[in-house]
A and B are shown apart, each in its own frame.
Chain A
Amino acid sequence: MKTNDFSSSTSPSDRRIGALFRHLTAGTDADRVSSVFASPTSGGAGGSVFAHLVQAPEDAILGVTIAYNKDPSPIKLNLGVGAYRTEEGKPLVLNVVRKAEQQLINDRSRIKEYLPIVGLVEFNKLSAKLILGADSPAIRENRVTTVECLSGTGSLRVGGEFLARHYHQKTIYIPQPTWGNHPKIFTLAGLSVKTYRYYDPSTRGLNFQGLLEDLGAAPQGSIVLLHACAHNPTGVDPTLEQWEQIRKLMRSKGLMPFFDSAYQGFASGSLDTDAKPIRMFVADGGELLVAQSYAKNMGLYGERVGALSIVCKAADVAGRVESQLKLVIRPMYSNPPIHGASIVAVILRDRNLFNEWTLELKAMADRIISMRKQLFEALRARGTPGDWTHIIKQIGMFTFTGLNPAQVSYMTKEYHIYMTSDGRISMAGLSSKTVPHLADAIHAVVTKAL
Chain B
Amino acid sequence: MAMMARTIRNSASRRTMMMSRPIFGLRSMSSWWKNVEPAPKDPILGVTEAFLADPSPDKVNVGVVSLSLSLDLTDGAYRDDNGKPVVLDCVREAERRIAGTSFMEYLPMGGSVKMVEETLKLAYGDNSEFIKDKRIAAVQSLSGTGACRLFADFQTRFNPGSQIYIPVPTWSNHHNIWRDAQVPQKTYHYYHPETKGLDFKGLMDDVKNAPEGSFFLLHACAHNPTGVDPTEEQWREISQLFKAKNHFAFFDMAYQGFASGDPARDAKSIRIFLEDGHHIGISQSYAKNMGLYGQRVGCLSVLCENEKQAVTVKSQLQQLARPMYSNPPLHGAQIVSTILGDPELKSLWLKEVKIMADRIIGMRTTLRESLEKLGSPLSWEHVTKQIGMFCYSGLTPEQVDRLTSEYHIYMTRNGRISMAGVTTGNVGYLANAIHEVTKSS
Contact = CB atoms under 8 A, between A and B. Distances in A.
Contact of B27 (A19, A252, A312): A252
Contact of A286 (B26, B158, B180): B26
B274 interface: no
Given A101-B100, A340-B329, A55 B315 contact: yes
A52 interface: yes
Interface stretch (B35-43, B375-383, B388-396): B35-43
B322 A285 contact: no
Contacts of B82: none
A299 B181 CA distance: 32
Interface string A322-362: 01101110111111111110000000000000000000000
Interface string B87-106: 10000100110011011111
B27 A251 contact: yes
B31 A49 contact: no
B36 A285 contact: no
A49 B14 CA distance: 51
Contacts of A318: 14
Contact of B103 (A16, A47, A93, A313): A93
Interface residues of A, number: 104
B148 to A, nearest CB: 9
B158 A52 contact: yes
A340 B331 contact: yes
A143 B183 CA distance: 35
B274 to A, nearest CB: 12
Contacts of B38: 319-320, 323
B33 A321 contact: yes
B23 A185 contact: no
Contacts of A157: 323-325
B329 A304 contact: yes
A333 B315 contact: no
Contact of B326 (A40, A181, A251, A319): A181
B368 interface: no
A81, A113, A181: most-surrounded residue (chain B CB, <10 A): A113
Interface string A86-130: 000001010001100110110010111111110000000000000
Nearest to B15: A316
Contacts of A337: 142, 294-296, 329, 331-332
A314 B16 contact: yes
B322 A181 contact: yes
A52 B159 CA distance: 10
B313 A53 contact: yes
A287 interface: yes
Contact of B85 (A47, A104, A113, A141): A113
A59 B323 CA distance: 12
B144 to A, nearest CB: 8
A102 B98 CA distance: 11
Interface stretch (A146-154, A371-379, A394-402, A409-417): A146-154
Contacts of B419: none
B142 A333 contact: yes
A314 B181 CA distance: 32
B166 to A, nearest CB: 13
A62 B322 CA distance: 11
Interface in A220-256: 221, 247-248, 251-252, 254, 256
A302 B145 contact: no
Nearest to B315: A56
A4 interface: no
Nearest to B325: A150
A12 interface: yes
Nearest to B21: A285
A46 B309 CA distance: 14
A73 interface: no
A7 B255 CA distance: 44
A54 interface: yes
A287 B87 CA distance: 42
B23 A331 contact: no
Interface stretch (B64-72, B258-266, B345-353): B64-72
B36 A50 contact: no
B294 A335 contact: yes
Given A55-B315, A154-B324, A304-B325, A331 B32 contact: no
A300 interface: yes
A3 B403 CA distance: 66
A83 interface: yes
Interface stretch (B125-133, B171-179, B201-209): B171-179
Given A313-B29, A314-B31, A323-B39, A111 B85 contact: yes
Q: Which 6 A-B pairs have the closest CB atoms?
A: A42-B213, A338-B294, A302-B330, A41-B213, A333-B142, A331-B176
9 contacts: A41-B162, A49-B248, A56-B318, A111-B87, A116-B70, A301-B105, A303-B331, A333-B296, A334-B143
Interface of B: 11, 14-16, 18-19, 21, 23-39, 66, 68-75, 77, 85, 87, 92, 95-96, 99-100, 102-109, 142-143, 145-146, 149, 157-162, 173, 176-177, 179-181, 212-215, 246, 248, 277, 279, 287, 291-296, 302, 304-305, 309, 311-313, 315-316, 318-320, 322-332
Given A51-B305, A337-B332, 14 more contacts: A41-B248, A46-B279, A50-B304, A56-B312, A112-B291, A112-B292, A114-B74, A150-B329, A302-B330, A304-B329, A316-B16, A317-B33, A331-B149, A333-B142
